[in-house]
Amino acid sequence: MRACLDACVLFPTVLREVLTGVAGLGLYDPVWSERILEEWARATVKLGSEAEMQARGEVAVLKAQFPNASVRPRDGDMARLHLPDENDVHVLAAAIRGSADVIVTLNAKDFPRQQLAHEGLRRMSPDEFLMDLWIETPAAVEQVVREVHATAQRMMGSDIALRALMKKARLPRLGKALSV
């Protein structure tokens, strides 16, 4: 399966680490464009200039880790596609160019399911997407989540319950499933 990751699921660190961690295990192939990665890096500006520099470093790491993930949307697709927010057309065009099966996004209203279906795509929230992967390969997803949880606790210098961390990362269903 191929999944186009919208910038909004790359910006929160824990969410990105879980999504790319399971991709690193081969559970799916990620797809993005330079513009998606740039949107992610620019979104960190509100956290300060150091955050943007760190994000740009993380972008470089992702590009090296997933060299086939980056696609360049075709101009023809960019011209013919329409979405409620025209600023999101590039994400749809990247998904099409990358032969993605799904767009993983938190922006449901900007990616109407019917319009995506015309292009042979589905829209899923990261929680839905990761829950599906967990149902298919629970041990692999649990391994990644446990590693991300341990790293988050080390970086924070304190304990945080797995379920609370997953909820904060906008993965409440996955957090609940793994906390049972």
Radius of gyration of the chain (CA): 16
Mind listing the pLDDT tens digit for each residue in 114-139? Answer: 999 999 999 999 999 999 999 999 99
Name the pLDDT band for 49 (thresholds 50, 70, 90): confident
Residue 67 is which amino acid?
Answer: P
Cβ–Cβ < 8 Å for 11, 145? no
Burial 1-16, CB ≥16 within 10 A → b, else e: eebbbbbbbbbbbbbb
What CA–CA distance (Å, rounded) separates 150 from 156? 10
pLDDT of residue 54: 87
Cβ–Cβ < 8 Å for 13, 43? no
Separation of first and last alpha carbons in the chain: 28
**120 CB-contact burial (10 Å; exposed 0-12 / middle 13-18 / buried 19+):** exposed
Mind listing the pLDDT tens digit for each residue in 67-90? Answer: 999 999 999 999 999 999 999 999
What mean pLDDT do residues 172-178 have?
96
pTM of the predicted model, to two decimals? 0.94
Q: Which two tokens stand for residue 100?
A: 């993605």
Mind listing the pLDDT tens digit for each residue in 160-170? Answer: 999 999 999 99
Q: Is the pLDDT of residue 1 over 90?
A: yes
What CA–CA distance (Å, rounded) separates 106 from 117? 18
Q: Work out the mean pLDDT of the chain and round it to a whole number.
A: 95
Q: Is the pLDDT of residue 47 over 90?
A: no
Q: Are strands 70-71 and 2-5 parallel, antiparallel or unpaired?
A: unpaired
Helix (H, G, I), strand (E, B) or coil at 102: strand
Residues in contact with 75: Cβ distance below 8 Å, sequence separation at least 6, in sequence order: none
